[in-house]
Amino acid sequence: MTQPPQARDEPQPQPPETPQPGGAGRAPGAVYWLEHAWLDNHVEPGVAVEVADGRISEIRTGVETPPPGATALRGLTLPGLANTHSHAFHRALRSTAQVGSGTFWTWRDVMYRIAGRLTPDTYHALARAVYAEMALAGITAVGEFHYLHHAPDGTPYDNPNAMGEALIAAAGEAGIRITLLDTAYLASGITERRGGAPPDRHQIRFSDGSATAWAERASALKGADHARIGAAIHSVRAVPAEQLATVAEWAGQRQAPLHVHLSEQTAENDACLSVHGCTPTRLLADHGVLGARTTGIHNTHLTDDDIALLGSTRTGTCMCPTTERDLADGIGPAARLQHAGSPLSLGSDSHAVIDLFEEARALELNERLRSRSRGHWTAAALVNAATANGHEALGWPEAGRIEQGALADLVTVALDSVRTAGPLPRLGAETAVFAASAADVRHTVVGGRHVVRDGAHALVPDVPRALAESIAALRG
């Protein structure tokens, strides 16, 4: 039986070595005792997990009490969550973008104003706070869809990758892993002319001028113990058709993840049909973009043929339900995509909220609203979308599972909060997905290091203040 909070833990040993700024790096040997653990799609009570060099070296079940020297994680421990799609700077729009009415396109105007104020230093401060918020929400890896490359007037910084490197450093200092999805963004829209419509004054800092120049700059980016480099095509409206293959080939040569915003808006589909005579999905397929390392973000307004094409190529789908409903984008055909063969993952995108339990819950509940029937995904399937599938989409296939040899990335959800108290522990996955929130995350462990302990961040001690100050610095 779960003990009440005031008596839940016996005296604890010192935690594993506290992560130092600069990396979500690997901890020395440690032992964690999981009161309840999500193993092989079921809840297992009393599990001891031994960690060596950042990976799970041994798992022992049937361990009723914490072994000597072990750190007890009370509640339900899941694999670390993967936030497959993030624009860190959008966090500064929370609540501000909720004033008044409008569409995706009017929201975009507000977003551009924030984007125009960021520098490497202010972006680092904001991203560090945002990634710390993610760690508090149980997220151990993030896919950062990054296109703020240059100064606001389009001039490259002395270090052309200063903005991307700021994001990598911010993730390390917040204690989480990052896949920096360096994004090609070259045009403002689809036109008959070669090269598309030129970037407007808001977008000029996003553009490298050509896919070849983008590839040259992106090739200079370097990963780290906590960071990997991937690629992204912003959308078919932002990368002209004749340059799509260059980005796809760059990713293919490196076996790197490749992400793309796909059919988020019907206007994008209409323009593509008008100019190219096909849907965005078909255009991407014709230029070698689709495949098992590729993830389409949103995949909202698709034809039957689009769905079949994405499924047959094993192209992934990242749904971001809180953003898709916040921007009135629509409900994507997630169930049909999965049935066709497209693996599902989840992202918080614009960070209207940062809560992957809410994203997982919304995936199912959106489908219920559309179909007027229940039970499209089991809780286990939704946990898998938030963990293993997300890590796979981000190029971290060794994460997302609690098993020997996997990265020791864990998140513990309280089973004794006002939201989660009552159900039997064996229903822990159902409780996490359909009742819990990010506020119920008690512990986050990354590479064996205890980044969040009892709801407190070890590296960013006052995350709300860090968020408030970094956002205030961007106000005009």
Provide the edge-to-edge strand list for the sheet that holds 258-262: 81-86, 139-146, 177-184, 227-233, 258-262, 294-298, 316-319, 344-346
Helix or strand (DSSP H, E) at 391: helix 388-393
Per-position DSSP letters for 12-50, written without gaps between them: PPPPS-PPPTT------SEEEEEEEEEETTEEEEEEEEE
Rounded CA separation 428/107 (Å): 37
DSSP 144-166: EEE---S-TTSPPPSSTTHHHHH
Q: How far does Cα 83 stand from its chain's mean position?
A: 2
- H or E element: which one contains 429? helix 428-434
Cα–Cα distance between 402 and 416 in angstroms, integer?
22
Handedness of CA 274, 311, 38, 139 (dihedral sign): negative
Which residues sit opposite 229 in a β-bridge?
180
Judge residue 17's burial from the number of C-beta atoms within 10 Å of its C-beta, 0-12 exposed, 13-18 middle, 19 or more buried. middle
DSSP 205: G
Cα separation, 150 vs 186, in Å, equals: 13
Instruction: Determine which one of 124, 150, 298, 457 is catalytic.
Output: 298
Instruction: Mark whether 109 is an active-site residue.
Output: no
Q: How far apart are CA 107 and CA 124, in angstroms?
A: 23
The angle at the Cα of 179, spanning 175 to 182, to the nearest 5 degrees, equals 130
Pick the catalytic residue from 182, 208, 306, 349. 349
For 265, list phi and psi in degrees, rounded to 5: -125, 140
Known active-site residue 326? no
User: Catalytic residue numbers?
Assistant: 298, 349
